Structure 1
Amino acid sequence: MCEPTVRVRAFALGARGETVRVLPHLSPASAESLRTALRRARFTTDGVRELLGPSAHAALGRGEVEPAFRATREGGELGVLVRLLLLGGVESDAAVTAALAPLTPSEARDAGLLVPAGDGWGAALDLRPYADDDGEWWVLSDLDARRQDRDHVTGVGAASLTLAAATVRRPVGSLLDLGTGCGVQALHAGRHAGAVTATDVAPRALAMARATFALNQVDVELLEGPWLEPVAGRRFDQIVSNPPFVPGPARVDYVYRDSGQDGDAALAALLRALPGHLEPGGVAQLLGSWLHVRGEDWPDRVRSWLPPGVDAWIVQREVSDPALHVGTWQRDAGLDLTSPEARAQAGAWLDWMERERVEAVGFGFLTVRRTDAEPAVVFEDVLGEVSDPLGPETAGWLDRVDWLRAHAADEALLAAPLTVAPSVVLETYAEPGADGWTEVGAAVARTDGPRWRHEVDGPAAALLAGCQGALALGELVELLAVAHDRPSGELVAATLPAVREFVRHGVLVPA
Structure 2
Amino acid sequence: MNPEFSPEFCARLREAFRRTGYDTGGVMAALGPMAHAALGRGEPELAFRASSDAGELGTLIRLFLLGGDESEAAVRAALAPLPLEDALGTGLLRGERDALRAGLDVRPHGDEEGDWWVVSDLDADALGHQVPPEHVLGVGHASLSLLRATLRRPVDTLLDLGTGNGVQALHATRHARRVTATDVSPRALALAQATFRLNELDVELLRGEWFAPVARRRFDQIVCNPPFVVGPARVDYTYRDSGLGGDDASALVVRQLPAFLNEGGVGQLLASWLHVEGEDWADRVSRWLPANTDAWFVQRDVADPGLYVGTWLRDAGIDPRSPEGRAKAAAWLDWFAEAKVQGVGFGFVTLRRTGGEQPTIVCEDLRQAYDDPLGPEAGAWLDRVAWLREHGTELLETRFRVPGTVLLERVDAPGDEGWHTTVRRLHRTDGPGWQHEIDEAAAALLAGCRGVLPLSDLLELLAVAHGGSAEELAAAALPMIRELVRHGMVEPV
Fold match, TM over 0.5? yes
Q: Identify the residue that residue 369 of structure 2 maps to in structure 1.
A: 385
Shift of 1:483: 3.0
Within a 5 Å distance, the mapping from 1:171-320 to structure 2 comes to: 171-320=154-303
Preserved contact between residue 249 and residue 349 of structure 1 (Cα < 8 Å) = yes
- Whether 2:35 is the aligned partner of 1:56: answer yes
Shift of 1:510: 2.0
Counterpart secondary structure, 2:10: helix
| Aligned counterpart for 2:476 among listed residues 494, 508, 511 | 494
Shift of 1:478: 2.3
Q: Output the aligned Cα RMSD.
A: 1.6
Within a 5 Å distance, the mapping from 1:63-78 to structure 2 comes to: 63-78=42-57
Kindly provide the amino acid, as one letter, of the partner of residue 177 in structure 1. Answer: D
Q: Identify the residue that residue 436 of structure 2 maps to in structure 1.
A: 454
- After superposition, the Cα gap between the structure-2 partners of 1:438 and 1:211, relative to the gap in structure 1 and judged at 3 Å, is same
Whole-angstrom CA distance in 2 between matches of 1:434 and 1:379: 41
Shift of 1:476: 2.2
Preserved contact between residue 30 and residue 111 of structure 1 (Cα < 8 Å) = no
Unaligned runs of 5+ in 1: 1-21
Q: Identify the residue that residue 345 of structure 2 maps to in structure 1.
A: 362
- Whether 2:100 is the aligned partner of 1:113: answer no
Kindly provide the amino acid, as one letter, of the partner of residue 268 in structure 1. Answer: A
Shift of 1:29: 2.2
Q: Identify the residue that residue 472 of structure 1 maps to in structure 2.
A: 454
Counterpart secondary structure, 1:408: helix
Whole-angstrom CA distance in 2 between matches of 1:328 and 1:104: 40
Kindly provide the amino acid, as one letter, of the partner of residue 160 in structure 1. Answer: S
Preserved contact between residue 90 and residue 117 of structure 1 (Cα < 8 Å) = no
Counterpart secondary structure, 2:485: helix
Whole-angstrom CA distance in 1 between matches of 2:324 and 2:90: 35
Whole-angstrom CA distance in 1 between matches of 2:274 and 2:64: 39
Shift of 1:395: 0.4
Whole-angstrom CA distance in 2 between matches of 1:288 and 1:75: 42
Deviations 1:453-474 (A, max 9, x none): 1112233222222222222222
- Whether 2:413 is the aligned partner of 1:431: answer yes
Q: Identify the residue that residue 407 of structure 1 maps to in structure 2.
A: 391
- After superposition, the Cα gap between the structure-2 partners of 1:432 and 1:134, relative to the gap in structure 1 and judged at 3 Å, is farther
Q: Identify the residue that residue 7 of structure 1 maps to in structure 2.
A: none
Kindly provide the amino acid, as one letter, of the partner of residue 106 in structure 1. Answer: E
Shift of 1:328: 1.1
Whole-angstrom CA distance in 1 between matches of 2:404 and 2:12: 49
Preserved contact between residue 289 and residue 363 of structure 1 (Cα < 8 Å) = yes
Deviations 1:182-236 (A, max 9, x none): 0011001111111110000000000000000001111110000111111111111
Deviations 1:19-63 (A, max 9, x none): xxx633222222222222212322222222222223222222232
Counterpart secondary structure, 2:317: coil
Q: Identify the residue that residue 10 of structure 1 maps to in structure 2.
A: none
Unaligned runs of 5+ in 2: none
Output the TM-score relative to the length of structure 2: 0.96
Runs of 4+ with deviation above 6 angstroms: none
- Whether 2:398 is the aligned partner of 1:398: answer no
Whole-angstrom CA distance in 2 between matches of 1:437 and 1:101: 75
Structure 1 range deviating more: 248-257 or 143-152:
143-152
Whole-angstrom CA distance in 1 between matches of 2:467 and 2:250: 53
Whole-angstrom CA distance in 1 between matches of 2:54 and 2:302: 44
Deviations 1:313-361 (A, max 9, x none): 1111111111011111111111111110010000011111111111111
| Aligned counterpart for 1:93 among listed residues 66, 72, 78 | 72
Counterpart secondary structure, 2:32: helix
Pairs aligned (count): 488
Structure 1 range deviating more: 91-100 or 500-509:
91-100
Counterpart secondary structure, 1:97: helix
Preserved contact between residue 226 and residue 249 of structure 2 (Cα < 8 Å) = no
Shift of 1:102: 2.0
Preserved contact between residue 314 and residue 364 of structure 1 (Cα < 8 Å) = yes
Q: Percent identity?
A: 60
Q: Identify the residue that residue 142 of structure 2 maps to in structure 1.
A: 159
- After superposition, the Cα gap between the structure-2 partners of 1:440 and 1:294, relative to the gap in structure 1 and judged at 3 Å, is closer
Output the TM-score relative to the length of structure 1: 0.92
Preserved contact between residue 71 and residue 97 of structure 2 (Cα < 8 Å) = no
Whole-angstrom CA distance in 1 between matches of 2:420 and 2:338: 52
Counterpart secondary structure, 2:380: helix
Q: Identify the residue that residue 339 of structure 1 maps to in structure 2.
A: 322
Whole-angstrom CA distance in 2 between matches of 1:263 and 1:391: 28
Shift of 1:435: 6.5
Counterpart secondary structure, 1:175: strand
Kindly provide the amino acid, as one letter, of the partner of residue 189 in structure 1. Answer: A
